[in-house]
């Protein structure tokens, strides 16, 4: 593999744009994780940041290594497929677990106050 001095200007600019775009989207997702109020809002932001941010970073990697090696380098496509499949599945599993937890907690609260027995207090 050759050095980055052999990279044409158009490829360097395209790589930089995609890399900064992907990193910016990922950073936005991380900031959303810190700033949002409850679990359901917090889990959504990093999921989008991961999926979209990874796409930009992988596009930069494909451009960079394809131009330097003078052949298509598509290993990153496997990484992208893995991230795009696993991230939403993980989101759904986390949300389902949180909903179950919330249901059980609300049942425990109802039983502790006697609301389920029909007693008003």
pLDDT of residue 71: 85
Whether residue 35 is contained in a domain is answered as: yes
What's the whole-number average pLDDT of the chain? 86
- Asked if residue 2 is part of any domain, the answer here is no
Is residue 4 included in any domain, yes or no? no
* Domain assignment of residue 33, given as a range: 9-112
Q: In this structure, is residue 3 part of a structural domain?
A: no
Three state DSSP letters for the chain: CCCHHHCCHHHHHHHHHHHHHHHHHHHHHHHHHHHCCCHHHHHHHHHHHHHHHHHHHHHHHHHHHHHHHCCCCCHHHHHHHHHHHHHHHHHHHHHHHHHHHHHHHHHHHHHHHCCCCCCCC
Span 29-55, mean pLDDT? 88
Contact 58, 70 (CB under 8 A): no
pTM for this model (two decimals): 0.74
Residue 39 belongs to some domain of the structure: yes
Q: Say what the pLDDT of residue 70 is.
A: 83
- Is residue 18 pLDDT above 90, yes or no? yes
Residue 117 inside a domain? The answer is no
Q: Is residue 121 part of a domain?
A: no
Q: How many domains does the chain have?
A: 1
Q: Flag whether pLDDT at 95 surpasses 60.
A: yes
pLDDT tens digits, residue range 75-92?
A: 888 998 998 899 889 999
Residue 69 has pLDDT above 60, yes or no: yes
CA 48 to chain centroid, in Å, comes to 5
Residue 88 domain flag: yes
Residue of 30, 36, 35 whose CA lies nearest to 53:
30
């Amino acid at each position: 593999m050759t050095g980055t001095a052999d990279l044409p200007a158009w490829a360097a600019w395209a790589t930089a744009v995609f890399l900064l775009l992907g990193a910016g989207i990922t950073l936005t997702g991380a900031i959303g994780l810190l700033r949002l109020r409850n679990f359901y809002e917090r889990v959504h932001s990093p999921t989008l940041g991961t999926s979209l941010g990874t796409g930009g970073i992988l596009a930069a990697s494909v451009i960079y290594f394809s131009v330097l090696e003078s052949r298509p380098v598509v290993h990153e496509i496997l990484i992208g497929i893995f991230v795009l499949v696993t991230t939403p599945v993980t989101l759904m599993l986390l949300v389902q677990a949180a909903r179950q937890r919330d249901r059980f907690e609300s049942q425990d609260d109802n039983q502790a106050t006697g609301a389920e027995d029909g007693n008003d207090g």
